[in-house]
Amino acid sequence: MTNQCNWCSDELAAEILDLSTVMEVAPGTVVMNPGDPVEGAYILEQGAVKLFRICEYGNRHLLYLLRKDGMCALSTLTSLTGGKMDILAEAEVSTKIRVIPKELADRLFVENEEWRNMVLHSIRISWQDAMNMLDQVAFKPLKSRLESYLHTHAKLSSRQIVAKSHAEIAEELYVSREAVSRTLKSLEKEGGVHLGHGSIKVLDVQANSC
C-alpha cells in the first residue's frame, strides 16, 4: 500500500489508511463548534485551520493557526479523555483533514510509540503557539501583533496576499477596526504592505517574537 500520509512512517500509515477517512472543507467552513463531541483525531493533510476561544458574549479570540501536517492536539486530547470540544475550529483556506476514528486513535496511543510521540509533540507545539499568542496580546503593541499576523497568513498564499478585510482582522486580534486600519496605513507608508479592496499584499513584514 502506498503511504499517503506524509506525516508518518510506512508502518503507521498501514495501520491508519484503511480505517481513517478524509474530509475536504471549503474556506470559512466551521469544522467544530464548542460543545461538539470529539470522536477521534484530526490531522491536516492540506490547508490551514484556525482555532478560536469563544467568550460568553460570543466574541471570538484567535488561539493559533494549525497548518499542513499538524495534528489538532485539543481535539485529540479531548477524544482521549471523553470530553467535548471547548473551542471553535474554522478552515482558513481549502483544507483536507484526515479523521482517525476514536477506537483506533485510543488503541494507537496505548500500543504505538510513534503515534503516542506524535500526540505529545502536537500538544507541546499547540501549547507553545497558544503561549506565543498570549505573549503577543499581553506584551506586544498592535503593530507587532499585526506584523506577526500578516507574516503568518501571507505564507498561506503563493502571492503573499492576505484576503481579509480590516474588520475581519480586528475581530481575530480582538481590537477595534479603526486601530487596525490606522496601523495598516502606517505599514503601507513604510513599504511593508500594499492595501487593496478586501485584501492586503504583504511586501516586507517580519514576524515578531516575544
Q: Name the percent of the chain lying above pLDDT 70.
A: 95
User: Which residue carries 499584499 as its cell?
Assistant: 201
- At 1 the pLDDT is 41
Query: pLDDT tens across 70-111, in order?
Result: 899 888 888 888 888 889 999 999 999 999 999 999 999 999
| Predicted structure pTM score | 0.78
What is the full DSSP assignment across 118-186? HHHHHHHHHHHHHHHHHHHHHHS-HHHHHHHHHHHHHTTSTT-EE---HHHHHHHHTS-HHHHHHHHHH
pLDDT digits (tens, 9 = 90+) for 181-194: 999 999 999 999 99
Let me know: does 194 contact 203? Beta carbons within 8 Å.
yes
Contacts of residue 30, Cβ cutoff 8 Å, sequence gap at least 6: 88, 89, 90
pLDDT at site 15: 86
Domains of the chain and any CATH numbers: 10-137 (2.60.120.10), 142-202 (1.10.10.10)
What is the distance of C-alpha 104 from the center of its chain? Answer: 24
Alpha carbon dihedral 20, 21, 25, 30, in 10-degree steps, equals -60
Residue 191 has what DSSP assignment? Answer: T
Q: Nearest CA to 9 among 87, 118, 126?
A: 118
